[in-house]
Amino acid sequence: MVDLSVRVGDLRLKNPVVLASGTCGYGRELAKFINLKMVGAITVKGLSMEPWQGNPPPRIHEVYAGILNSIGLENKGLESFLREDLPFFETIETPLFVNIWGKNVKEYVLLARNLDAVERVTAIELNLSCPNVEKGGVSFALQEKVFEELVGRVRHSFTRKIIVKLGPQIFDLEKAIQILEREGIDFVSATNSFPGLAVNVDEQRFVFSRKVAGFSGPAIKPLALKLVYDIVSVTRLPVIGMGGIVCWRDALEFLLIGARAIGLGTVNLIYPDAAQRILKGIEEYLDQKGISSLEAIIGKVR
Ligand SMILES: Cc1cc2nc3c(=O)[nH]c(=O)nc-3n(C[C@H](O)[C@H](O)[C@H](O)COP(=O)(O)O)c2cc1C
């Protein structure tokens, strides 16, 4: 029997598979396809204080090896989540990560404070790629001072685990990691989607109303691996690696370079049962190699 459990800091997950934010709804949507008790953790769709409509359609555009999405952070807001979805999570023991975003630092802090009172929430994950309305719509990850203030204030407002989710756009990776370590952030997750663009040639216009959309899926895997590799190189903070994972081999690439868990995103939209297939593949791989515990191979390729 292969032991698939992993230590992510002092959190033990029964296996490394984390469902990534925005691709498994609020859990119930995916429960029709997989047994959610079998995954290491679930990350719900990014929540804001108030319900948020997101962007007008089209919101998804398929390209050769990935998708562009312009969902625009649509969500039902904290209150509805707590009322309508949290009870479902009381019926399963799987660790629950709640991805959050706000339009300014105050909103992140308010969300963190509210969620601190909800015992069922294992960790909050800060999505920092959203536009900061107080700084002219530039992402929080692009402004060192705001990043520092945000992370520090959220840390003081939430007593359990905090994950900071990074993407390719960050003011300075090493400096950002130093801030996360100094402020006592628990884990880093990477990567968020990449900024991408698509043009409608027939109508000679941009595909999305906001022009730029988030690019994810298999095409970003090498880019995501490089980012995760770089993060692991400069910190001892546990990293949840994601970006373009489709099969168990992709997942193992992230674990071998030192990610302690892996996130499944776009693949959930293509194969909703991907988590189970990937876990089975990892288990068979370890079994064939005569390795009894997944921990033994984490970070073996550095
Ligand atoms: C449709 C869609 C919605 C997403 N929504 C969120 C979100 O609300 N918050 C967040 O931090 N990331 C969000 N993401 C990013 C994913 O969680 C993940 O980081 C990214 O897609 C890269 O992984 P992948 O290539 O496996 O999809 C979303 C991605 C997709 C495709």
Ligand 1 within 6 A of CB of 221: no
Handedness of CA 74, 48, 186, 39 (dihedral sign): negative
pLDDT digits (tens, 9 = 90+) for 59-108: 999 999 999 999 989 999 999 999 999 999 999 999 999 999 999 999 99
Burial code (b: 16+ CB inside 10 Å, e: under 16) for 96-112 equals bbbbbbbbebebbbbbb
Q: Can you name the residues that pair with 124 across neighbouring β-strands?
A: 98, 162
Strand partners, 239: 188
Question: 220: Cβ below 6 Å to ligand 1?
Answer: yes
In angstroms, the CA 104 to CA 34 distance is 36
- Confidence class of residue 133 from pLDDT cuts 50, 70 and 90? confident
299, 232 contact by CB (below 8 A): yes
pTM for the structure as a whole: 0.98
Beta bridge partners, 3, equal 293
Task: Please identify every residue annotated as catalytic.
Answer: 130
Mutate to test the pocket of ligand 1, among 76, 98, 192 (most ligand atoms within 8 A of CB): 192
The answer to whether 45 is annotated as binding is yes
In this structure, the dihedral spanned by the alpha carbons of residues 241, 247, 252 and 254, taken in order and rounded to 10 degrees, is -20
Query: Strand, helix or coil at 302?
Result: coil
Can you say how many angstroms the Cα of residue 33 is from the centroid of all Cα atoms in its chain?
A: 20
Residue 127 is assigned to a ligand binding site: yes
pLDDT of 131 > 90? The answer is: no
For residue 3, is pLDDT > 90?
A: yes
Find out whether the beta carbon of 167 lies less than 6 Å from any atom of ligand 1: no
245 Cβ below 6 A of ligand 1 = yes
Nearest CA to 250 out of 287, 215, 270, 275 is that of 275
User: How many A from CA of 271 to the centre of ligand 1?
Assistant: 15
The rounded Å distance from CA 29 to ligand 1 centre is 16
- CB distance 99 to 45 below 8 Å: yes
What span, in angstroms and rounded, lies between the C-alpha atoms of 231 and 126?
Answer: 17
153 CB-near residues (< 8 Å, 6+ apart): 105, 108, 109
Whole-number Å distance, alpha carbon 289 to ligand 1 midpoint, is 33
Does 27 count as an annotated binding residue? no
Q: How far is the CA of 239 from the centre of ligand 1 (A)?
A: 16
Residue 265 marked ligand-binding: yes
pLDDT at 125: 98
48-65 confidence digits (pLDDT tens) = 999 999 999 999 999 999
- Taking the C-alpha atoms of residue 211 and residue 13, their distance in angstroms, rounded to an integer, is 39
DSSP string, 168-179: S--S-HHHHHHH
Closest CA to 48 of 156, 119, 131: 131
Check pocket membership of 241 for ligand 1, CB cut-off 6 A: no
Q: Which two tokens stand for residue 57?
A: 């359609």
Which residue's C-alpha comes closest to atom 15 of ligand 1? Answer: 192
| pLDDT computed for residue 132 by the predictor | 84
Where helices occur in 11-89 by DSSP H, the ranges are: 28-31, 78-80, 86-89
pLDDT band at 137 (very low <50, low <70, confident <90, very high): confident
Q: Is the CB of 23 under 6 A from ligand 1?
A: yes
